[in-house]
Amino acid sequence: MAFFEMTDDTGAVRPCYADVRRWVDEVGIEELNARLKEAETIFRRIGITFAVYGEGGDPERLIPFDLLPRIFPASEWRILDRGIRQRTRALNAFLYDVYHRGEIIRAGIVPGELVYQNRAFEPQMIGFDPPGRVYSHIVGIDIVRTDEGKFQVLEDNCRTPSGVSYMLENREIMQRMFPELFGASRVAPVDSYPNDLLASLKEVAPAGASGDPTVVVLTPGSFNSAYYEHSFLADLMGVELVEPMDLYVDDDKVWMKTTRGPQRVDVIYRRIDDDFIDPLAFRADSMLGVAGLFGAYRAGGVTLCSAPGAGIADDKAIYLFVPEMIRFYLSERPILENVPTWRCALPDECAYVLDHLDELVAKEVHGSGGYGMLIGPKATRAEIDAYAARIRASPADFIAQPTLDLSTAPVLGRQEIVGRHVDFRPYCLVGKQMRLVPGGLTRVALTEGSLVVNSSQGGGVKDTWVLDE
């Protein structure tokens, strides 16, 4: 039986949920369901959608929203906060290391071939020092819990983790619709995030930049699924939202085309994958990208956030070694655990995985978004056999984890409060200093029993509260 976050094992409501539980009883389930419709109308009108082109149906969809907040008491957040910051420091230290001397590989902790032969490793970054030695400026760490005090990291996101706009909008809409709820509870605010992001980005401006560096958000364009978030963040930071065609490189400096002529750009928060930022450096066939951008970056004319090649740190094969990284670089004990993971690249572990596929979750090392995974206990015999054949064909591309007994959080059902599985993604910012707002995005698998929280596969979102002391 999964840990239900609203109650303790005697069935009593945990103190952090007491106010919300009372509020639900006062307002009533039926009324709350009516208010949920209202919330959806607001989301739709404001245009908080994600784009799904080419699949038929509505090309701009809403992410389902649940009205009941997911709540962390201060004592739990203290642990999470320390654990998230610790992990973020280790990941950036690892990135610096693998693009320089590779001490962790020399020490025999991480196998060299996992790094140097990895698609996410960017040889052109070797020997380059990004400003502040920061590679990943926004680190999103996906965390699940399996028991009262037990948090585990499912995966790291070091490139351009998305979803932070939902953290902000979910809070905004909850405060707008239910101000009374916030009067009673002491909910830590998250609205400093855009300012924190801007401050972090300005702190990593190149040495030659002016006193007040010009920051832009680089988006692939309005057909990208996360376009709403890109425009939302640019808007809240008060910076330009640019597309590749708005930028050009001259003399290793980056300029944006404005109605008044060229304007110098110092820091680019790019929401475009490595492959597509510069056709000269990476994929020559890319229609996206700014020719010469990588050269300008290497010459110190502009800072790219995140750095090209940062993805090596969040690769699923590297994930296994993050607790070791924490010990190696920080000489600390890891605060957040990993989920136990078997690597099919190792023959013994692969044999175990193949024997136990019906009870494991198997994943592609390079997959994302919940695609290409097998949830053993829910799969048919034929699906398992087909997946096993794929693992045998290229074992190194797969890992497996036990089926976790993920915690459930209270969700508004038609007649009552129900428990649904959740995960949690906080967003840790890294400039000269580290910043972490108390909160993050809680994703929820709205289908009963489902473990898949991805919005592309029927997941929803809910507001996440951290209670002050």
Strand partners for 337: 152
3-state SS string for 349-367: HHHHHHHCHHHEEEEECCC
Residue 465 pairs with which residues in a beta bridge? 71
Residue 232: CB minimum distance to other proteins, A: 9
DSSP-assigned letter for residue 123: G
- Of 15, 25, 38, 46, the residue at the interface with other proteins (CB under 8 A) is 46
- Judged by beta carbon, residue 192 or residue 222, the one nearer other proteins is 222
* Closer residue to other proteins (CB): 222 or 457: 222
Residue 401 near residue 340, CB atoms below 8 Å = yes
Number of residues that bind other proteins (CB under 8 A): 21
CB of 23 to other proteins, least distance (A): 30
Residues contacting 314, CB < 8 A, separation 6+: 91, 120, 136, 155, 156, 157, 158, 159
Residues within window 47-76 making contact with other proteins, judged by CB under 8 A: 47
Residue among 338, 236, 221 at smallest CA distance from 271: 221
* Cβ closest to other proteins, residue 48 vs residue 95: 48
Q: Which stretch binds other proteins (CB under 8 A): 72-80, 147-155, 252-260, 386-394?
A: 252-260
> According to the binding rule CB under 8 A, does residue 240 interact with other proteins?
yes
Report the residue number, 224 or 401, with the smaller CB distance to other proteins: 224
- Residue 138: Cβ within 10 Å count: 22
- Give the Å distances, CA to CA, from 286 to 9, 123, 216: 55, 19, 21
Which part of the chain contacts other proteins (CB under 8 A), choosing from 257-265, 270-278, 372-380, 413-421? Answer: 257-265
Minimum CB distance to other proteins, residue 447 (Å): 28
Q: How far is CA 396 from CA 344, 346, 350, in A?
A: 6, 8, 9
The least distance separating other proteins from the CB of residue 222, rounded to whole angstroms, comes to 4
Among 257, 327, 392, 432, binds other proteins (CB under 8 A): 257
Nearest approach, Cβ of 57 to other proteins (angstroms)?
11
Coil vs helix vs strand at 314: helix
Q: Which of residues 196-235 bind other proteins (CB under 8 A)?
A: 221-222, 227, 231, 234-235
Which DSSP helix (H) or strand (E) runs through 71? Answer: strand 65-72
Task: Say whether residue 261 binds other proteins (CB under 8 A).
Answer: yes
| Complex with other proteins: residue 149 or 221, whichever CB lies closer | 221
Where does this chain bind other proteins (CB under 8 A)? 45-47, 221-222, 227, 231, 234-235, 240-243, 245-246, 256-261
